[in-house]
Structure 1
Amino acid sequence: MAEEVRDYIEKIFAKNPLKIVVSKAVSKDVRYRKITVVRKEKGYQIERLTQKQAFHENVSAWDEQKLIDMCAGWLGTGYGQLNAWTDGEECSVMVSKKGTASMVCKRTTQFNPQKIAAGHNRKKEYIFNEGDIIEPMIDMGILTSEGKVVRTMYDKFKQINRFAQIIDDVIKDKGYRNLNIIDFGCGKSYLTFILYYYFTEVKHMNVTMTGLDLKEDVIKHCNEAAAKYGYDGLHFEVGDINGYHSDKPVDMVITLHACDTATDYALYNAVYWNAKMIFSVPCCQHELNGQIESDNYSVLTRYGLIKERTAALMTDAIRAELLEYCGYRTQVMEFVDFAHTPKNLLIRAEKTGTKRKQSLDEVTRLMEEFHLSPTLYKLMLEGCMIKD
């Protein structure tokens, strides 16, 4: 039951909830009558309510995983129900007296973001708002020429906002005025154009942004589009992630759906350049699936589907831990709703300079147990970032 409850709560946080209420105490020994979690500008605020008092605690956006653990603990022990509100949807997770967990989500027209986020005076609910004239979104068919969201593209509109919010959570309040950004494996670059708009028009920053891809026709089209939009600081180059060199310091590396080990080369370059920020959505992790084996945990490798998913999760876990070892505060999160693109994990990392040395020990033990030789580890070993 505990794993099922946790799975439900992770799905809720993937929807970017604005408010969560934990209620229905299962015994008289439970101290708090109700627990409420409200999303704030820099994270979340928890209110624990007794009959006479209210106790408050703030949780940083970086500690979202901690909050997921807390919610799972509350619902798995002292409480029988959790309600969560996102933009236009309410989800309820219930645990029966027999310990059976279930979740139901439904659309609601009664949702009011301003009322839910009481005390938080936000000017905008989204980074991009309906009515904004954003040429790349118009060309993508997400917005009409008047800035209205096309009805069938509303989910895509929210997904783009979600990704921009993930970046905004890192750069806001940092005082950045100039950024040099590399987008590896940019493809047709729809999101690259939108992010350039975000940095220059929303955040009013001076940005140099380079998109890199192997397809010459795609790069030609992207450069033509950048000229059409008047995006002078955005340009595209034909090139391979492996061996790419930048002639000036890189502040941010973005890599979306770089296939298999291409993600590893992108992460290695980002660390080599001492990039301040990394945003990576891995894709098609085949490498470890062909290596993984274990006598002690053969149950994870016996069945093809489970083996594939285990290998993919281990791939991203190793990447995250190696970034921690190299001095990055790292978070693995899901930025797209399960209903639209399952298995879309995002690795978000910010340079702190504080190395988590035990991360390398944990990676090494995992590699030894499952006979793994991941590309990122080998690249860092060859680049003298880690010692064998």
Structure 2
Amino acid sequence: MSEPLLVVMDRVRGLLLDPDTLVRAVASGRHKGRQPPRWRRVELRYVDLKAGRHLQVVAYDETQAHTSNHALAAAPAAVDELLREPFGNWHVETLTEVHQIRVTKKLEAMAHTSARAEAAEVDRGHDRDKDRLLPESDPVFRALGLSDAQGRMKPSRHAKYRQVEEFLRLLDSSITDAITKGRLRRPTPEEPLRIADLGCGNAYLTFAAERFLTSVRGLPIHLTGVDVREQSRDHNAVIAAELGAGAEFVVGSISGVQLDPAPEVVLALHACDTATDEALARAVEWHASLVLAAPCCHHDIAAQLRSAATPTPYAMLTRHGILRERLADTLTDGLRSSLMRAQGYRVDVMQFVESKHTPRNTLLRAVRTGAPDSDGAVRREYDELVELWGITPRLAVLLDA
């Protein structure tokens, strides 16, 4: 049942200004029809500094995080400033409860509060591994060989650690947003959230996601990793047993694996070339509510561009190999986005980790809304583009099939 927005925000204010019980709070999204807030996402928690306890606010724009610390006397002003922003969703965790608030189209609030099975532990340390969602000393990183026996990240694995961290932030915000907006059901111990990682390989991100969602977020999940290699299944099963992780691994191709019941969240992280298309097509087939896909390689469209005549006046874009490859990347992911939109998904294409850490840093996030392409505008735009370039995306073939 909806409540007056000001009443609910006043309750949220009280939770945010309790330095003894607040564990963590996240604001994201925006009000319907309003200008977006200054920040894409904001995280709040209390930290203990030499000068005493402070409210720490980490605000994210499109490219980086901005951290500020506010003494308790100044915390009300900082909180009030954030509450004035038109955020559409608030996720607030206290020692004993979890609160989810969603702002409706009518600018009312839908609030849901659930009690924790046991009181949460809270870390007030300011220097806790740069506010990582999973510290480098977490057992999952030792099991995966990223950190040493003392829990220190190996120098050669810092880029992978950064990639895992940024992916977890996107996964966290995407699941929170989808649940609060009613796009994804709220999981229970009896009916955990079903997640599939297609083409999981050695499952770095699979295990990190399972660890974070269960141990940090406290969400009941059932995670299945799929890979065509038996060696990957056996290797990952050993690690899962070592960690006591609630994850299972099966051998199968992305296009052929049968999962029953179907997953609600589909991950496809660095599936090479058309394997990403296969993962997106399976997600559509399963009516998955949330899809996170990080493409790797775009050979299919690149090969088609080499063999097709370049339309006028774009010859300069394909004359040089490096430019043609980059164009292929852009065309592939742009067409994937259009095809998913035509299937009733809202799609965001974003950079999920800085290019200095990895060149494979594009991520497609698709949230199923069920809204059809009623006037055919998306399909017309897509048809014009593929006709102009004389290409046939693999995802289109799979969806037609």
TM-score normalised by L of structure 2: 0.64
Distance 1:267 1:84 in 2: 25
Distance 2:62 2:391 in 1: 40
What code does the residue aligned with 1:128 have?
A: L
Shift of 1:140: 3.6
User: Which residue number corresponds to residue 362 of structure 1?
Assistant: 381
Which runs of 5 or more residues in structure 2 are unaligned? 1-25, 42-60, 83-91, 94-121, 124-129, 181-185
Whether 1:183 and 2:162 are equivalent positions in the alignment is no
What code does the residue aligned with 1:288 have?
A: I
User: Which residue number corresponds to residue 272 of structure 1?
Assistant: 285
The within-5 A match list for 1:19-168 is: 41-42=27-28, 58=37, 61=40, 86=64, 112-114=67-69, 118-119=78-79, 126=131, 128-130=133-135, 134-143=138-147, 147=151, 149=153, 153-168=157-172
Which runs of 5 or more residues in structure 1 are unaligned? 1-39, 46-55, 63-82, 88-110, 383-388
Distance 2:249 2:322 in 1: 38
The within-5 A match list for 1:252-271 is: 252-271=265-284
What code does the residue aligned with 1:259 have?
A: C
User: Which residue number corresponds to residue 211 of structure 1?
Assistant: 225
User: Which residue number corresponds to residue 209 of structure 2?
Assistant: 195
SS class of match (1:114): strand
User: Which residue number corresponds to residue 172 of structure 1?
Assistant: 176
Asked if the contact 1:270/1:278 (under 8 Å) is kept, the reply is yes
What code does the residue aligned with 1:374 have?
A: P
Distance 1:375 1:215 in 2: 23
Distance 2:393 2:234 in 1: 34
Asked if the contact 2:197/2:268 (under 8 Å) is kept, the reply is yes
What code does the residue aligned with 2:242 have?
A: K
Whether 1:325 and 2:342 are equivalent positions in the alignment is yes
Partner deviation per Cα, 1:157-177 (whole Å, 9 max, x = no partner) = 333221111111121152622
Partner deviation per Cα, 1:117-174 (whole Å, 9 max, x = no partner) = 95469988745253x7522212345445565555665554333221111111121152
SS class of match (1:172): helix
Distance 1:260 1:129 in 2: 30
Asked if the contact 2:227/2:251 (under 8 Å) is kept, the reply is yes
Distance 1:157 1:371 in 2: 40
Relative to structure 1, is the Cα distance of residues 365 and 340 closer, same or farther in structure 2, using a 3 angstrom cutoff? same
Of 295, 298, 310, which residue of structure 2 is paired with 1:294?
Answer: 310
Asked if the contact 1:43/1:60 (under 8 Å) is kept, the reply is no
Asked if the contact 1:182/1:254 (under 8 Å) is kept, the reply is yes
Aligned length: 288
Q: Percent of pairs identical after alignment?
A: 32
User: Which residue number corresponds to residue 263 of structure 2?
Assistant: 250
SS class of match (1:346): strand
Distance 1:306 1:350 in 2: 31
